[in-house]
Amino acid sequence: MDKHADGFHVAFVGNPNCGKTTLFNAITGAKLKVANWPGVTVEKKEGYVEFEDEKLVLIDTPGIYSLSTYTIEEKVTRNCILDDDIEVIVNVLDASNLERNLYLSLQLLELGKPVVMALNMMDIVEERGMEIDMHRFPEMLCDIPVVPVSAMKKRGLDILLHAVIHHKEAVTLGEVFSYSDNIEEKIEKLEVVMSAKYPNHSSARWHAIKLLENDELVSEEHPVDVSRIVDKSYAREIIQAKYSYIDEIVKECLFNKSKKEAMTDKVDRIMLHPVFGIPAFLLIMAFVFLLTFALGDFIKGYLEILLEWIETGVLNSLNAINVANWLQSLIVDGIIAGVGGILTFLPNIIILFIALAILEDSGYMSRVAYVMDGIMGKLGLSGRAFLPMILGFGCTVPAVMASRALETDKDRKKVMLITPFMSCSARLPIYVLISGLFFGKFAPLVSFSMYVLGIIVALLSAFMMKLFDKSTNNNSLLIELPEYKRPNLRSIRIYVWNKVKDYLTKAGTTIFVASIILWFILNFGPHGMVIEAGDSFASIAARVIAPVLKPCGLDMWEIVVALLAGVSAKELVVASISVLFSTASSSGDLLEGIKSLYPAFGAANALALMVFSLLYTPCMATIATIKKESASWKFTLITLIYELAVAYGVSTLVYQICKLL
Amino acid sequence: MDNKTLWSIEPGKEVSVERILLEDDLSRRLEALGLNEGTILQVITKKKSGAMVIKVRGSRLALGKQITSNIEVKEIVCG
């Protein structure tokens, strides 16, 4: 009988990077992010599907190596599995790496819940000339259904769902294989104690084993006095026993263990080279950004022509039907300049995301953790902490969430504090626009230098925190390096499309509304509609703050408005600058507008503006995420103040130095 | 032959794990990844900082110095 009204609950559980999310996407039609590095999924996600007149609720979970957990995202999975809500566990395995994947499977089977095994990546197994004895294999695993699938090629999915539905009532006894007599005896005694105290407990054997391993969480959740039975931790013996059983399975069921892994090893000889590893990484990143700026700007040129053409067209037709002047101004100077201005940066952003997607899907991503481990170690962090920072080039919000994969709370907070310095894609338009106006053919280089500056400030911040932090650092890198593979077109399309959709949605909502609000506060003052923007509400308020920014050469009220607007979404910095300055010149030209209002505004001011925009307070969405992930307002506030102070300091420094030159 | 720390091993060599001298948390995590006493592993590359890439049970792991300097191993003589 079904326990839930919405259908019965099926959890996808497996090692990191074995393809759970790809399988989940393939079955539910969802478009969750997939990539080729361990730890992409950090939250559980639900999806719904109907099959053979049954409603299923599928739950995708973050990958785990074992049920003894360690990091936050692993706890998410553990709690989800142990929750009695889950009726069937689909254990997803990377069939090309059975040996390691089976360790978790044995633990899941010991739970005694219905388990269906999905052997994913069978195509790779076949490609490598390996064979799995599909008769003997399930026999050695309590006769659970084992379904070969290929999530990528969408093969075997119906068979898997069929097995799930038909297997939901089947409960395994939890005894996959026997431990040594001594341990089995203790398990038996513990099971008796457990069932006496918790008669409804469904996974007595698993619990008994966990108690023998001295698992803290288990003894916390179901306290029983077992001191007479558990005289020491048997964790080591239990793990050893599991692995010897796995060795047996592999020996009996796996044939032609592969030799064809040479490609990954060859590439790694360069990518992980002790000397060339770091230059190789820097070259890749330089290539990514130069491509973003050089090629992106080229395409952007055409979009701008298109936008101008639309602007004139709209203006002419509004004139033709005698629309009031103020409404014309709102539509052309407010909405088209604001929203349209943002849309012209789409080529840069698409190129950046394609490059990042390829980087993530090729398998290089977790190598970066190894390559950067030496440098990060000097800053008191493990190389793993560099991954959220790279994700920060895309968007700070998922980057902050990715810090969950770090082991300690201290490391997580450090990473949350420095990740906003990594220049996200919303800040990219600022560099493209400003450096394009003031630096001519050096524009791509200047834009690129902002990314480098962001990394340097982030690393220096980490270094400073290390100086203040007296405790010894126990950071030890531990990450799996997946095989390289050709990036999958579908994964890249999902990745890029999700980001582009976000960007377009933002342009259509936040930026649309903000552009209208901006237009109003710029065109209305205490005495109604104004002719000079200098008499507007915005100007009156922003003039109060402007003098504070004098040391960094940004004491213009228009810039204050732009920066304030940018806190709601960084794209708004560019949108506001376009709206504010282009109205100041008769031709609508931005540079002319700036020069007519502030003749002294030059390259030094421009550089300071970019630096300030790079480093100052992150956007609302990021602030909310930092609050959620750190669960501390105090920490969030410290982060905001620190970032504002750094922005002020560094942009002042840059401005003053440029003045001297 | 005497035991050595893992990080003194040169790339290309195969060794068997003799002892893991890490705190419980970390050694249990390594064990979950398939690296426990008696396991045979191969060193792929290493850096002066002490970080290493090893191959164990068909998967590649990157390990930091704190881990590589606290695992005792024994070289396997070929043949």
A34 touches A109 (CB < 8 A): no
For chain A, percent of residues with pLDDT exceeding 90:
54
For chains A and B, CB pairs below 8 A equal 117
* A404-419 average pLDDT score: 90
**Model confidence over A46-94: pLDDT tens digits?**
999 999 899 999 999 999 999 887 788 888 898 888 877 888 999 999 9
Instruction: Give the pLDDT of residue A258.
Output: 59
Q: Is A368 left (phi over 0), alpha (psi -120 to 50) or beta?
A: alpha
Position A489 pLDDT exceeds 50: yes
A436 residue type, one letter: G
Lowest mean pLDDT among A145-154, A222-231, A243-252, A612-621: A222-231
Within 8 A of B53 by CB-CB distance, chain A residues are 268, 272, 370, 481
Write the pLDDT tens digit of every residue in A360-396. 999 999 999 999 998 998 888 889 999 999 999 999 9
Provide, as residue numbers in chain A, all residues whose Cβ is less than 8 Å from the Cβ of B65. 377, 476
Nearest C-alpha neighbor of A88 from the set A170, A22, A158: A170
Q: Tell me the average pLDDT of chain A.
A: 89
Angle at A388 between CA A16 and CA A649, to 5 degrees: 170
> By the 8 A CB rule, do A533 and A593 touch?
no
Segment A454-478 shows an average pLDDT of 85
Contact A434, A606 (CB under 8 A): yes
Residue contact B36–A236, C-beta within 8 A: yes
Residue A3: pLDDT band with limits 50, 70, 90 = low
pLDDT of A459 over the 50 cut = yes
Q: pLDDT of B10-48, one tens digit each? A: 999 999 999 999 888 888 889 888 898 889 999 999 998
The pLDDT, as a whole number, for residue A108 is 93
Residue B12 in contact with partner chain A when CB distance is under 8 A: no
At A560 the three-state DSSP class reads: helix
Q: Does B19 lie at the interface with A, CB-CB under 8 angstroms?
A: no
Q: Which amino acid is at A166?
A: H
Contacts of A580 (CB under 8 A, 6+ apart): A518, A522, A533, A558, A561, A562, A593
**Residue of B37, B47, B67 with shortest CB distance to A374:** B47
Burial of A201 (0-12, 13-18, 19+ CB in 10 A): middle
pLDDT at position A342: 83
pLDDT at A327 over 70: yes
Per residue in A623-658, pLDDT tens?
A: 999 999 999 999 999 999 999 999 999 999 999 999
- ipTM of this predicted structure: 0.94
B29, B34, B39 member nearest A70 (Cβ) = B29
User: For residue A1, is pLDDT > 50?
Assistant: no
A193 Cβ neighbours under 8 A, 6+ residues apart: A224, A225, A226, A229
Ramachandran region, residue B35 (left: φ > 0; alpha: ψ -120 to 50; beta: rest):
beta
User: What integer pLDDT is reported at residue A280 of this predicted model?
Assistant: 95
